[in-house]
């Protein structure tokens, strides 16, 4: 019991105050379970659905407000479902293979999906699961046990438990794992320095597990997002050569936290989840960061972007275009003298979304392609 309690404390996440929201109820195996649903105000046709799984001790009303799921439902035109784990005497806790439990949370979540599908017009080909901390552990379990019904999963700061690691996934799974290298709560290597215990597979072993399940070959492609913000973090994406999408977002210096604010950090987790689940970029309005050497316009652009550079010491400048994850898409070489010059580049071949333009080794600025 002491070990279970330690794990519970170990996987606890920060709560967001005592906020209220309307709770709905669903009876599963004779037990009344709770959940919240957020949908866009105006929608026609079928809706993609994202199940978000909270951490240990999580309260879905608090999460609903703290993560602003109403806004996310509106922005992405998704249904967001927040299920509540049961209180097992040491706080609300998913049965994700970390402790002995008879609660079938995996079955509950799929039964809830079936119930909501009967009530709403859900796109059953666009069912997504994501979770933080213990919710990340449970997301991996759902991917292993129900990957034939789930389109994509995103696990943040949660591992595959040792109990689940011996299972064979029912199907290849589109999986994104996000983890900070300095996470001492759920350690990157599977070991918690804070409590001196192993919690399951480390991140490298998790990626090996899913590479085997997805039939991956060779080495991953490694992309580093340009470091634009003074956030002390570096975001590195590993894309594996698989028949089914498999990625790792490694957060160098990242701790056990939800980096949600793309205005503060180089990456915002909700945008990353959207990008991965849908496979397309997220159009957004951003402010141009003009510097002495680099100005761009119009921004947003429908395709043609004007770039003006001044006072460069090098006579030949490389203009680089990156995607939102830092993947280098294009390099344009141009010659400069002492006078002011303007270059036009065509971004119309790229899909709508956020891109980064860098001139030489100087400033990097965000650019939005929106038609």
Dist CA 201 CA 333 (whole Å): 45
Q: What is the pLDDT of residue 230?
A: 81
In the numeric block, the tokens 């409590």 are attached to 195
Predicted confidence at residue 38, as pLDDT, reads 92
- Six-digit token pair at 308? 């003006």
Provide CATH 3.40.50.1820 ranges for the chain: 2-278
Say what the pLDDT of residue 257 is: 94
- Per-residue pLDDT, 239: 93
**Taking CA 193 as the corner, what is the angle to CA 187 and CA 199, rounded to the nearest 5 degrees?**
50
Q: Which CATH number does 294-369 carry? A: 2.60.40
Q: Is the dihedral of CA 56, 59, 62, 67 positive or negative?
A: positive
pLDDT given for residue 311 in this prediction: 65
| Residues listed for the chain | 371
Pairing type for strands 246-252 and 175-180 reads: parallel
Give per-residue burial for 148-174: e unless 16+ CB within 10 Å, then b: eebbbbbbbbbbbbeebbeeebeebbb
Does domain 2-278 correspond to CATH entry 3.90.79.10?
no
- Kindly report, as residue ranges, where domains of CATH 2.60.40 are found in the chain: 294-369
Three-class secondary structure of residue 76 per DSSP: helix
Tens of each residue's pLDDT in the chain, 371 residues? 333 333 433 444 323 333 334 789 999 999 999 999 999 887 777 899 999 999 999 999 888 888 888 888 888 889 999 999 999 887 899 999 988 788 999 999 999 999 999 999 899 999 999 999 999 999 999 999 999 999 999 999 999 999 999 999 999 999 999 999 999 999 999 998 877 889 999 999 999 999 999 999 999 998 887 777 788 999 999 999 998 899 999 999 999 999 987 678 888 898 889 889 988 544 333 333 445 667 888 888 888 988 887 766 566 678 888 876 666 788 887 765 545 567 888 888 887 777 888 877 666 777 877 66
Residue in the block written with tokens 């849908």: 278
């Amino acid at each position: 019991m002491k070990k279970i309690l330690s794990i519970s404390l170990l996987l606890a996440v920060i709560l967001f105050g005592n906020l209220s929201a309307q709770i709905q109820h669903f009876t599963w195996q004779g037990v009344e379970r709770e959940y919240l649903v957020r949908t866009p105000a105006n929608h026609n046709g079928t809706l993609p659905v994202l199940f978000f799984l909270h951490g240990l001790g999580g309260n879905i009303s608090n999460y609903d407000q703290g993560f602003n799921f109403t806004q996310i439902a509106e922005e992405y035109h998704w249904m967001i479902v927040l299920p509540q784990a049961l209180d097992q005497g040491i706080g609300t806790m998913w049965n994700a293979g970390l402790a002995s439990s008879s609660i079938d949370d995996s079955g509950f979540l799929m039964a809830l999906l079936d119930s909501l599908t009967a009530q709403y017009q859900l796109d059953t080909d666009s069912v997504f699961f994501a979770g933080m901390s213990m919710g990340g552990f449970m997301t991996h379990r759902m991917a292993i046990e129900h990957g034939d019904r789930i389109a994509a999963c995103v696990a943040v700061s949660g591992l595959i438990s040792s109990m689940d690691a011996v299972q064979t996934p029912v199907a290849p799974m589109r999986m994104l794992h996000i983890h900070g290298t300095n996470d001492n709560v759920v350690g990157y290597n599977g070991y918690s320095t804070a409590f001196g215990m192993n919690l399951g597979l480390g991140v490298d072993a998790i990626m090996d597990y899913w590479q085997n399940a997805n039939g991956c070959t060779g080495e991953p492609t490694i992309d580093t997002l340009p470091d634009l913000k003074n956030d002390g973090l570096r975001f590195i994406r590993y894309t594996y050569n698989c028949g089914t999408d498999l990625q790792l977002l490694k957060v160098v210096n990242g701790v056990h936290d939800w980096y949600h604010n793309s205005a503060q950090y180089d990456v915002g987790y909700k945008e990353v989840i959207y990008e991965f689940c849908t496979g397309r970029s997220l159009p957004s309005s951003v402010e141009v960061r003009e510097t002495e050497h680099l100005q761009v316009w119009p921004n947003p652009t429908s395709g043609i972007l004007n770039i003006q550079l001044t006072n460069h010491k090098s006579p030949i400048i490389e203009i680089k275009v990156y995607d939102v994850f830092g993947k280098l898409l294009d390099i344009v070489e141009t010659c400069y003298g002492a006078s002011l010059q303007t270059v036009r580049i065509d971004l119309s071949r790229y899909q709508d979304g956020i891109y980064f333009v860098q001139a030489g080794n100087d400033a990097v600025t965000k650019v939005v392609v929106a038609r």
